[in-house]
């Protein structure tokens, strides 16, 4: 069995570098990934996908990427759950193994 995901999308915000209690670097980013087909109104819809980066990948992304930059990622899907008000809530996210910096956002003058 395999759990591999490849995505290409734009960063929704500047990556922030954070540390766990054990001083491990991480970053949570959201990728805007446009669907490859138009809806009934003729518009391409976009999915916003939460991704987690660790250690060197998190550091490099924080240093070199900004909001709007196009990146490609390879990772795996992770589903976590927690209890809130006696109800189980689920979070689906991508754990990133590799990131490729594809293009910077074009700046309008």
The residue among 10, 102, 17, 9 whose CA lies nearest residue 56 is 17
Whether pLDDT at 78 is above 60: yes
State pTM to two decimals.
Answer: 0.84
Q: What confidence tens digit (pLDDT) does each residue in 36-64 have?
A: 999 999 999 999 999 999 999 999 999 99
Classify residue 73: in a domain, yes or no: yes
Classify residue 109: in a domain, yes or no: no
Give the pLDDT band of residue 109 (cuts 50, 70, 90).
very low
User: Cα–Cα distance between 50 and 68 in angstroms, integer?
Assistant: 15
Classify residue 108: in a domain, yes or no: no
Strands 87-103 and 44-54: what pairing? Answer: parallel
Whether pLDDT at 105 is above 80: no
User: Cα–Cα distance between 90 and 54 in angstroms, integer?
Assistant: 21
Alpha-helical segments (H) within the chain: 55-64
Number of domains into which the chain is organized: 1
Whether pLDDT at 101 is above 70: yes
User: What domain range is 34 assigned to?
Assistant: 5-103
CATH of the domain at 30: 2.40.50.140
> How confident is the model over 79-87, as a mean pLDDT?
95
Give the pLDDT band of residue 66 (cuts 50, 70, 90).
very high
pLDDT of residue 106: 65
- The residues facing 75 across adjacent strands are 5, 96
Q: What confidence tens digit (pLDDT) does each residue in 3-28 have?
A: 999 999 999 999 999 999 999 999 99
């Amino acid at each position: 069995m395999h759990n591999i995901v490849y995505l290409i999308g734009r960063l929704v915000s500047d990556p922030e570098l954070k540390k766990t209690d054990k001083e491990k670097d991480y970053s949570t980013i959201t990728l805007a990934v446009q669907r490859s087909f138009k809806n009934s109104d003729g518009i391409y819809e976009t999915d916003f996908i939460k991704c987690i980066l660790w250690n060197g990948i998190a550091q490099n992304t924080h240093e070199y990427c900004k909001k709007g930059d196009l990146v490609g990622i390879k990772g795996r899907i992770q589903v976590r759950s927690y209890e809130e008000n006696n109800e189980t809530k689920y979070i689906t996210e991508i754990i990133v193994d590799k990131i490729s910096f594809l293009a910077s956002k074009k700046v309008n003058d």
